[in-house]
Structure 1
């Protein structure tokens, strides 16, 4: 263990609010999570001897072997977006400010605290603290774990500690990005009739998107609203040239009843006649609320589930056939902001709910 790790040793049995602050105070921007991973690994080995602990790159995994009927997996990413002058953490009354407080070191703190203080949980537990969630999917630590340690991702229910304001958000939307190219003929703008303006041709693309009627889809009582939007447009050569190419980037957020292939086919139908290229595609995740462990968790929370708007790593678990939900103490609207913060009461409330479910 390095001297830096020794100086910053984590106390997993401490108040989870204090533990959240301690996690925030260790910078862990995507790709630079090694120090925090080392601290978590050391703390779990020392303070939770009932757990098997392994390291995978900048990810830390731990699990019980109690022979319980069901296994629950608690997963949280330990990386953050780039720091915006908001580390170290600071407190203002009951509010804790800092990079990653909401997304999602508060959730990590809750999971780590429970791992250390519940030596005899009702369900067998697996903890996965992973790296590189905030960057491109190819670097996501869960993907590496699935390839190299697939047995660690087997469970009857996965709970992802993404910020949900302490509500249960089930499943997630899928996301698809395509680029639409329109072409024309370049000419001098003083003699524009000799050219064919590619930007003008993009007007029909934008018109179809503006007139698009999205679906509302009810799945297990969770209503997912789809959206098809232009998110970027580029074109033009110079101030005196009729452009011969224009590129419109389109994002489709689709309900999880559509497969990835069906989502592509739908966008191709909406934009029939135009040249499309898929640049990003991740399937959604069905709610999975009929699974017994999911029903037990809903009972423990005393609430009903709502649809998750946006894509999260529950999709990875759903693809493995594991029911997965999002549940964490942070406010998702504060994620990635300079003023990111979390209320201490929210951390305590989520800790109590999970302790009731697991203990």
Structure 2
């Protein structure tokens, strides 16, 4: 592994260098060391560290501040390292999610000398695992001043298009209770699995909302993702659990989404097992409009949850903007067109300079 990254080099080369440093969630120390050392040696930014999260910022007294954030970790490697460049396409674990975005951030940190806004760069750990381990959440708890700004740009893959806000997400367990009995005397028991049939019929008939906010269309989702139950092959089951995943538009709060689920499954025991609020687009904010103008095109809704929601909860407008097709994230075929990496660097440079 190189001692330092060449931050001012072509961001495509920088992406390849980052990809070639394994950084599966929980094992980000090497890449965090490399990022920290490179920023300290090659920029005049204030640099600090929390665990395996590296933070850097300017303090130029500008009237506004833009926060750029990207996670350093990847999902487990799947025979897709080291990186390789073929016909203008860079392949490898993390090229999409999200070392292309990290490379753009590092390149800008080293090459923008006179930004219009003060800048904060956050390279954080453990995004791909349980939310309680997320490095950005740790910074929010321990160093909240580092998250303050007028706009947050999370450089998650968005195909080089501004994705506004994000959906909220909720998982619930729908539970039925029964009475055990011998199958030969099944009338003496109550079959909890059979009792789940009506809940599944309600899901099958459910029509998800489509909600337009600031010109962005959010498509909700509601589906069963897991079902379990049963004791043994010769016992009437006395419990069954249906896990339901609900993606809701950001015009609903988590409390409203929970109430909606409880109404849908009225008569059943419903337990919320995971929830994260969505984020409204915030496209009317002046700094956001400047970014949209620099990027051209039309912003679209983010169909999924990202860490923009953490910034939105702090009252900041936040968008997703980065290279790579999010549909390729977490796949063995992860790859990103090099022109998208260059495009995102050019757009953000135009916006920030």
TM-score under structure 1 length normalisation? 0.97
1:1-359 equivalence runs, <5 A: 7-49=2-44, 51-359=45-353
Does the residue aligned with 1:163 lie in a helix, a strand or coil? coil
In 2, the alpha carbon distance for the partners of 1:302 and 1:86 equals: 33
Structure 2 segments unaligned to the other structure (5+ residues): none
Does the residue aligned with 1:250 lie in a helix, a strand or coil? strand
In 1, the alpha carbon distance for the partners of 2:330 and 2:138 equals: 24
Moved over 4 A (4+): none
TM-score under structure 2 length normalisation? 0.98
Does the residue aligned with 2:266 lie in a helix, a strand or coil? coil
Q: Is the 8 A contact 1:186 1:242 kept in 2?
A: yes
Aligned residues: 353
Per-residue deviation at 1:154?
Answer: 0.4
Per-residue deviation at 1:67?
Answer: 1.4
In 2, the alpha carbon distance for the partners of 1:146 and 1:178 equals: 26
In 2, the alpha carbon distance for the partners of 1:196 and 1:65 equals: 67
Distance 1:267 1:235, change over 3 A: same
Q: Note the aligned Cα RMSD (angstroms).
A: 0.9
